[in-house]
Structure 1
Amino acid sequence: MPISTVHLLRHGEVHNPAGVLYGRLPEFHLSELGQEMARCLAEHFAKRVHDGARFVYLAASPLTRAQETAAPTARALGLEVETEPRIIEAENHFEGLRVTKRELAHPRHWRYFTNPLRPSWGEAYEAQAARVLAAVADAARVAVDRGGDGAEAILVAHQLPIWAARLKAEGRRLAHDPRRRECTLTSLTSLTVDAETGAVLSVAYSEPAARLLPGASTTPGA
């Protein structure tokens, strides 16, 4: 049974002075801190290569912040950044808005609160988990094809789709409190995958850029 580890890397901090939920909006770039986070992750992966890891596949969501997060790692590992649309941010009705209590109380939004378990204001958790896990399964197969048993892949994505995929892989309930997600900026959710079947065998979590997190933005839509 050939095995691959697929690392779901959340992008770095975004320059977002207006504090909007940017979702899938284009041209939201990394902040200076976000760029430092991306470089920190590149150094982390380079060190792992020095210790014997084999990274053979690197892909990112089509959104600017994910592509910019992937770029230093691509240079450090000598890999091309491939674009994987299935790991894009979730659709959200509130995209482009500052999500304040006052904004949420406006009657034009009320119909989007009918089912918070789905959730009714955006893409269903099940749909997010399914597309991300399908991308993970394919990444595992590509990694083994290119590098053999044990080769690894990196997918640069976004908090909510990563979290939904993790919950699904661990057999947990998908509806959740967003404040309790374990998926900080430039964190790694690492899935060990059977490359033949796509089954997730185990999940690990780490924060290689933890030293950069204090004071980082926590605006949603990431």
Structure 2
Amino acid sequence: MNTIHLVRHGEVDNPEGILYGRLPNFGLTDRGHEMAARVAKHFDEATTIPVELVASPLLRTQQTMAPLAKALDLPVFDDDRVIEAANSFEGQRLNARRLAEPKNLIRLYNPLTPSWGEPYRQIVLRMRAAMASLRAKLTNYGPGAEGVIVSHQLPIWVTRLSGEGRSLVHDPRRRECDLASITSFTFDSSTLVSVSYESICADLQPGTAVAGA
């Protein structure tokens, strides 16, 4: 058995509340760095210590991974396949009035794909490919080896939905994927045998939803 932990990044400094998506230079808040430190402590004190670390190339995921990489003295491998989902609303501060503008409303014609961003199935395929690459590396360490990927809310959530055999179509407000949470996938060879979820920073979650997370 090998386990891959998908970790969502910590809280992002975004005072204007825009949907930042893949925009550069959106780093963590002080609370986000506290979350990252807790992620490092969690894995550093785990029964099985991760042996491979992978992160999205965006600043917020790199900063979330940094304390863990330091604690374990391991390199971090960047992987574009675990990056945030593409979104045509990127850079905007969204509210009901803005969504009702013709230029935005026309993008909402199909919530099942979704029409305003990267298709859910495409996200799952690239996330699965990244996990398969990591799983192949873990086999070199033998049974029980674990790896960590720091990614983003939507890619992690749809990968979980797929792994659990659920529909990828969902209400974004109902995603179970807190900041700095851990969604773990355990494999027997290439077969997924279990999916679990843990919110290790439940007490540090902001009171309002995080835009563009």
Q: Please report how far the alpha carbon of residue 24 of structure 1 lies from its aligned counterpart in structure 2 after TM superposition.
A: 0.2
Q: Please report how far the alpha carbon of residue 218 of structure 1 lies from its aligned counterpart in structure 2 after TM superposition.
A: 2.0
Secondary structure, counterpart of 1:6 in structure 2: strand
Match of 2:203 in 1: 211
Q: Please say if residues 137 and 193 of structure 1, whose CA atoms lie closer than 8 Å, have aligned partners that are also in contact.
A: no
Aligned residues: 213
Alignment of 1:25-44 (within 5 A): 25-44=23-42
TM-score of the aligned structures, taking structure 1 as reference length: 0.93
1:167 aligns with 2:161: yes
Matched residue type, 1:71: A
Match of 2:151 in 1: 157
Q: Please say if residues 20 and 219 of structure 1, whose CA atoms lie closer than 8 Å, have aligned partners that are also in contact.
A: no
1:155–1:5 distance in 2 versus 1, CA, 3 Å: same
Secondary structure, counterpart of 2:45 in structure 1: helix
1:221 aligns with 2:212: yes
The structure 1 residue matched to 2:7, chosen from 3, 9, 32, is: 9
Match of 1:68 in 2: 63
Q: Please say if residues 22 and 28 of structure 1, whose CA atoms lie closer than 8 Å, have aligned partners that are also in contact.
A: yes
Alignment of 1:120-199 (within 5 A): 120-145=115-140, 147-195=141-189, 197=190, 199=191
Q: For 2:209 and 2:97, how far apart are their aligned partners in 1?
A: 19
Matched residue type, 1:210: A
Q: For 2:188 and 2:58, how far apart are their aligned partners in 1?
A: 28
RMSD (Å) for aligned C-alpha atoms = 1.1
Q: Please report how far the alpha carbon of residue 37 of structure 1 lies from its aligned counterpart in structure 2 after TM superposition.
A: 0.3
1:84 aligns with 2:79: yes
Q: For 1:153 and 1:216, how far apart are their aligned partners in 2?
A: 31
Matched residue type, 1:57: E
1:216–1:143 distance in 2 versus 1, CA, 3 Å: farther
The structure 1 residue matched to 2:21, chosen from 8, 15, 23, is: 23
Q: Please report how far the alpha carbon of residue 201 of structure 1 lies from its aligned counterpart in structure 2 after TM superposition.
A: 1.4
What stretches of structure 1 move > 4 A for 4+ residues in a row? none
Q: For 1:93 and 1:194, how far apart are their aligned partners in 2?
A: 38
Secondary structure, counterpart of 2:117 in structure 1: coil
TM-score of the aligned structures, taking structure 2 as reference length: 0.97
- What 5-or-longer segments of structure 1 have no aligned partner? none
Q: Please report how far the alpha carbon of residue 194 of structure 1 lies from its aligned counterpart in structure 2 after TM superposition.
A: 3.0
Q: For 1:173 and 1:73, how far apart are their aligned partners in 2?
A: 33
Q: For 1:194 and 1:156, how far apart are their aligned partners in 2?
A: 22
